């Protein structure tokens, strides 16, 4: 499985990097929208929405929201949605503490999970578009993703080597506290190196390192929330599009959580 995951990552990573670095903001927004809509399709299935017409309608509604947000991207709506995204992931920590909440397949719980999906995906879309459009935005976008990728790798090998104490055994038995610490170290190191290459100095460099630590912590929450959703839905993966990796939600869960935090932090730090 590790070999299969590695091969898939080696194929996908260069493609993602080229899209980030070479695409104009408009082209990037279209590609990101397509990927996020595919992830929303998987989220709707995990939520318990079985009707294909309703799921298609949900995607069309989300596409219209993305188009409207693109038109309104230079307004005060962006920081408001970033704040909403950060607030949601703080609230999600409470859901992890009460993991049985909304587990029953009722209409009310379906509605709650679809609403949660909106807070997962829409602020992340706004964050990614806003980072890409800032000065040196292509490189800051790449750094945001590499921080998450590095934290995933750090968590895997640290957990494999030192992992004993479980992080959330009822939600994701494979995750350990050692893995979380490894993720933190790897993410902060990458942030320091990347920010230094982007000419960040002094106190701002320390601030970015702290921002990276918070970003990694929230990315772990994102991973756990998707694991919780899969537990509720009684499935192993959100999809099967990527060999060894599962679906788009399986690959983007940490990213969805990390992006609003990282984007809001850059905005507050004025870097």
| pLDDT at site 240 | 67
Give the chain's mean pLDDT. Answer: 92
CA 140, CA 21: separation in Å to the nearest integer? Answer: 10
| pLDDT at site 247 | 82
| pLDDT at site 22 | 95
Query: What count of other Cβ atoms lies within 10 Å of the Cβ of residue 98?
Result: 9
The residues spanned by each domain of the chain are: 2-269
Instruction: Lowest mean pLDDT of 35-49, 153-167, 206-220, 243-257, name the range.
Output: 243-257
Is residue 8 pLDDT above 80, yes or no?
no
DSSP β-ladder status, 166-168 and 172-176: antiparallel
Average pLDDT for residues 60-66, to the nearest whole number?
Answer: 97
| pLDDT at site 138 | 97
Q: What confidence tier does 104 reach under pLDDT thresholds 50, 70, 90?
A: very high
| pLDDT at site 245 | 57
Going by C-alpha positions, the residue among 166, 182, 185 that lies closest to residue 227 is: 166
Q: What confidence tier does 2 reach under pLDDT thresholds 50, 70, 90?
A: low
| pLDDT at site 244 | 55
Report pLDDT digits (tens) over 188-217.
999 999 999 999 999 999 999 999 999 999
- Within 8 A by CB and 6+ apart from 183, the residues are 151, 152, 154, 155, 158, 216, 219, 220
Going by C-alpha positions, the residue among 262, 260, 271 that lies closest to residue 80 is: 260
| pLDDT at site 238 | 84
Give the HSE-up count for residue 36: Cα atoms under 13 Å, Cβ half-sphere: 30
Give the HSE-up count for residue 23: Cα atoms under 13 Å, Cβ half-sphere: 19
Which one has a higher pLDDT value, 142 or 170?
142
Is residue 183 pLDDT above 60, yes or no?
yes
Q: What confidence tier does 164 reach under pLDDT thresholds 50, 70, 90?
A: confident
Express as a percent the part of the chain with pLDDT over 90: 80
| pLDDT at site 1 | 60
Q: What confidence tier does 12 reach under pLDDT thresholds 50, 70, 90?
A: confident
Report pLDDT digits (tens) over 22-57.
999 999 999 999 999 999 999 999 999 999 999 999
| pLDDT at site 243 | 57
Average pLDDT for residues 113-138, to the nearest whole number?
Answer: 96
């Amino acid at each position: 499985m590790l070999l299969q995951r590695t091969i898939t990552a080696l194929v996908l990573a260069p493609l993602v990097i080229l899209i980030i670095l070479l695409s104009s903001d408009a082209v990037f927004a279209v590609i990101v929208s397509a990927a996020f809509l595919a992830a929303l399709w998987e989220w709707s299935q995990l939520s318990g929405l079985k009707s294909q017409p309703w799921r298609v309608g949900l995607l069309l509604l989300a596409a219209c929201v993305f188009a409207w947000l693109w038109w309104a991207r230079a307004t005060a709506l962006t920081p408001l949605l970033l704040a909403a995204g950060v607030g949601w992931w703080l609230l999600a920590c409470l859901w992890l503490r009460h993991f049985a909440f909304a587990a029953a397949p009722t209409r009310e719980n379906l509605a709650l999970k679809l609403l949660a999906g909106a807070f997962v995906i829409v602020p992340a879309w706004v964050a990614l578009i806003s980072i890409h459009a800032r000065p040196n935005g292509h490189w800051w976008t790449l750094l945001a993703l590499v921080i998450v990728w590095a934290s995933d790798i750090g968590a895997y090998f640290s957990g494999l080597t030192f992992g004993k104490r479980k992080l959330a055994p009822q939600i994701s038995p494979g995750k350990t506290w050692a893995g979380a610490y490894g993720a933190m170290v790897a993410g902060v190191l990458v942030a320091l190196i990347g920010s230094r290459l982007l000419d960040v100095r002094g106190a701002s460099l320390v601030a970015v390192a702290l921002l990276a630590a918070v970003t990694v912590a929230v990315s772990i929450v994102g991973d756990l929330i998707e694991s919780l959703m899969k537990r509720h839905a009684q499935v192993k993966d959100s999809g099967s599009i990527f060999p060894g990796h599962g679906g788009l939600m399986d690959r983007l869960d940490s990213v969805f959580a990390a992006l609003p935090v990282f984007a809001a932090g850059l905005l507050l730090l004025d870097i």
